[in-house]
Structure 1
């Protein structure tokens, strides 16, 4: 149940008029009659004596029609200017309603057009407290709010600053735009990017991520020992919000005998999702190649995430994700499908499919994957996943745990 709220003023759509039935003024005295003396002062001509008004006497009205003897107009013979003046006796003002004037009508019109704006009450001025409706599930699958302090990951340690960039140490997966790739690196990372790769950056903002260390070739299925590091490598990415809907992106990867540079963009279509695209060129030993990527992501019914991507790689291309295998021998085409569904109380369940084939149409890889991410507490997140390639029989299992170790 929600706690009661205070009344909130509303703004009328149009001026509101109020009509009231007022008693008619007493009929004026006959012409030429001498005014009766008033103890409080002499009443103006045309007004009844104060004692008569105080006694409640009024001219007789017609029993059939209800009209006054003066011909039906209760205010006939009364000067409106005299009623609006400040010199009118109090007895007269109490006994006879004021006749509308041009000034009073203008004031009424001004009051009817006033705008009523809601002004929030200052904190602590009301005892009303708000409560969450009973039965509403907690947002288990919501994102982790950045907080200052140390956070422990599966194989990394991160110091997160609220006002500045975060610094991470350990086995890291560098930030990569949606149209590019990334490889695990054991080293140090400095980054101020917090939004996902398929979202835009606010206009005029610059985001960056830089990781330096050695390529991590450790099998993720190994729980203890078996740590293997390869050649020194680095990965850098930048994102700039050109407009509220357009974000420009760039990536540079480097290692021994390898250099890749890529440019791309993320375009927001509003409720219709986001569109990502980019091109990357690589120089690997004596080979040179290109990779082109185009992807689309959308959220359906405000809950289900759907994604689709196409990737074309020419022969001779290589990056950090394929550094051990060397440059590709033939051109390849990859398509990817993904879907994510939030499960109340259990986080978000995601599934992926990736198919890789060469230019002749032969299937080189058909990989299925599933993962789940959930909040164990307001600041602790657990993510687990597994994938399997039905062509080669390879499989992989991974887990990530994020938690804060302390504050500033």
Structure 2
């Protein structure tokens, strides 16, 4: 008897549903469009909702501007202290060294700058400053004023210009430069850059505000002795510290470029010397190879080591680097460096890096470092999204 009751109830329920469907179709009429009376419907109960999405075209990955412009997030000009054309891209380069190098020991070498921060050899993918155009440009950390004759003025925080055989430090203040360009200077031409202010110890933008150290100054003077030889000098000053260096670059034209410099420094009654020589060459116009040897005696100091200065026994380092352009996937760079210190064991570093545009609005940087003897390693993945 119970089974018959359930069957009768099921038949009645199916009949009611069929009648409801027939009445609904009759009200709509043949070919009539559904009428939205604003009330709830069965489609509102569906767990998945469908929406039309426009088809967004994504351009293929593009290579980054040449290395050397990452030190200034607001500019990639070939003249230190100048600004790019407003029509060119001002997307900040990814400061991988600032993001990851701080986690390595103090003895770790600068794996991102083969012969110091080469502010003199920055490239301008945007075409540089237009002839007959002078203007102010607001950067991430500074203001830049540019004149067509090569004179540039920077107000704010910036890396002080430095030759490739020297080191550069970030200062907050005023920087004035004239004709400071990439490569050798023209015959008989004088180029200079001078910056006065305070040492900038500010952390990355994601960690806090501004932090300044003592007053400091840095200047660079270059002279074109011949079409192939350019002479350079660098002077740095801070309380209880002064550094003087001389050197130059010689372009052999078909056989690469030689760069060498010697510097003497004193800090807290300690004196030291630094000798550096390097060579760069291109193989088949695609693969760039470089080698750098640096010998530093105990007691040497400059602005880049002023904050963490400590008297040591000196060190000797050799660094080999290779850069291979991959077109739209940017440049792949590999490095191998050995460091021998008088007060500790030897170190061997292996590094690999790559930076490229994944889309017009996304820049990707990959970096990996490995200390071969100690086993330490450093791996990083950095995404950069420009906000216009």
> Is the TM-score greater than 0.5?
yes
> By how many angstroms is 1:295 displaced?
0.3
Contact 1:141 1:375 (C-alpha < 8 Å) held by counterparts: no
Among candidates 326, 341, 345, match of residue 328 of structure 2 = 345
Q: Tell me the distance in 1 between the aligned counterparts of 2:305 and 2:382.
A: 19
> By how many angstroms is 1:253 displaced?
0.5
Contact 2:62 2:330 (C-alpha < 8 Å) held by counterparts: no
Query: For the structure 1 residues 355 and 257, does the alpha-carbon distance in structure 2 shift closer, same or farther, using more than 3 Å as the test?
Result: same
1:293 matched residue in structure 2: 276
Among candidates 229, 235, 256, match of residue 252 of structure 1 = 235
List aligned pairs for 1:282-361, cutoff 5 A: 282-359=265-342
> By how many angstroms is 1:302 displaced?
1.4
Q: Tell me the distance in 1 between the aligned counterparts of 2:139 and 2:245.
A: 29
Among candidates 139, 146, 159, match of residue 160 of structure 1 = 146
2:128 matched residue in structure 1: 146
Query: For the structure 1 residues 292 and 400, does the alpha-carbon distance in structure 2 shift closer, same or farther, using more than 3 Å as the test?
Result: farther
Contact 2:64 2:355 (C-alpha < 8 Å) held by counterparts: no
Deviations 1:205-243, CA, capped at 9 Å, x for gaps = 1111111211122334x5241432211111111111000
Contact 2:328 2:356 (C-alpha < 8 Å) held by counterparts: no
> By how many angstroms is 1:356 displaced?
2.1
Query: For the structure 1 residues 172 and 352, does the alpha-carbon distance in structure 2 shift closer, same or farther, using more than 3 Å as the test?
Result: farther
1:183 matched residue in structure 2: 169
Contact 2:202 2:208 (C-alpha < 8 Å) held by counterparts: no
SS in 2 for 1:181: coil
2:38 matched residue in structure 1: none
1:275 and 2:261 equivalent?
Answer: no
Contact 1:203 1:243 (C-alpha < 8 Å) held by counterparts: yes
TM-score (ref. length: structure 1): 0.56
2:244 matched residue in structure 1: 261
Q: Which runs of 5+ in 2 are unaligned?
A: 1-60, 67-122
> By how many angstroms is 1:328 displaced?
3.7
**Which has the higher Rg, Structure 1 or Structure 2?**
1
1:83 matched residue in structure 2: none
Contact 1:316 1:329 (C-alpha < 8 Å) held by counterparts: yes
List aligned pairs for 1:106-121, cutoff 5 A: none
Structure with the largest fraction of helix: 2
> By how many angstroms is 1:194 displaced?
4.6
Contact 1:317 1:327 (C-alpha < 8 Å) held by counterparts: no
Q: Tell me the distance in 2 between the aligned counterparts of 1:152 and 1:141.
A: 20
Runs of 4+ in 1 over 4 A off after TM superposition: 137-142, 373-377, 382-389, 391-403
Q: Tell me the distance in 2 between the aligned counterparts of 1:402 and 1:240.
A: 38
SS in 1 for 2:218: strand
Query: For the structure 1 residues 206 and 226, does the alpha-carbon distance in structure 2 shift closer, same or farther, using more than 3 Å as the test?
Result: same
Query: For the structure 1 residues 140 and 158, does the alpha-carbon distance in structure 2 shift closer, same or farther, using more than 3 Å as the test?
Result: same
Q: Tell me the distance in 2 between the aligned counterparts of 1:224 and 1:360.
A: 33
Contact 2:150 2:180 (C-alpha < 8 Å) held by counterparts: no
Query: For the structure 1 residues 158 and 230, does the alpha-carbon distance in structure 2 shift closer, same or farther, using more than 3 Å as the test?
Result: same
> By how many angstroms is 1:255 displaced?
0.5
> By how many angstroms is 1:331 displaced?
2.0
2:94 matched residue in structure 1: none
1:363 matched residue in structure 2: 346
SS in 2 for 1:350: strand
SS in 1 for 2:227: coil
> By how many angstroms is 1:396 displaced?
8.5
Stretch of structure 1 that moved more, 250-259 or 333-342: 333-342
Q: Tell me the distance in 2 between the aligned counterparts of 1:157 and 1:254.
A: 24
Query: For the structure 1 residues 138 and 219, does the alpha-carbon distance in structure 2 shift closer, same or farther, using more than 3 Å as the test?
Result: closer
1:174 and 2:156 equivalent?
Answer: no
Q: Tell me the distance in 2 between the aligned counterparts of 1:327 and 1:345.
A: 44
Query: For the structure 1 residues 256 and 395, does the alpha-carbon distance in structure 2 shift closer, same or farther, using more than 3 Å as the test?
Result: farther
Among candidates 213, 231, 256, match of residue 197 of structure 2 = 213
> By how many angstroms is 1:305 displaced?
1.7
Query: For the structure 1 residues 213 and 394, does the alpha-carbon distance in structure 2 shift closer, same or farther, using more than 3 Å as the test?
Result: farther
Contact 1:300 1:306 (C-alpha < 8 Å) held by counterparts: yes
SS in 1 for 2:304: helix
2:185 matched residue in structure 1: 201
TM-score (ref. length: structure 2): 0.58
> By how many angstroms is 1:352 displaced?
3.6
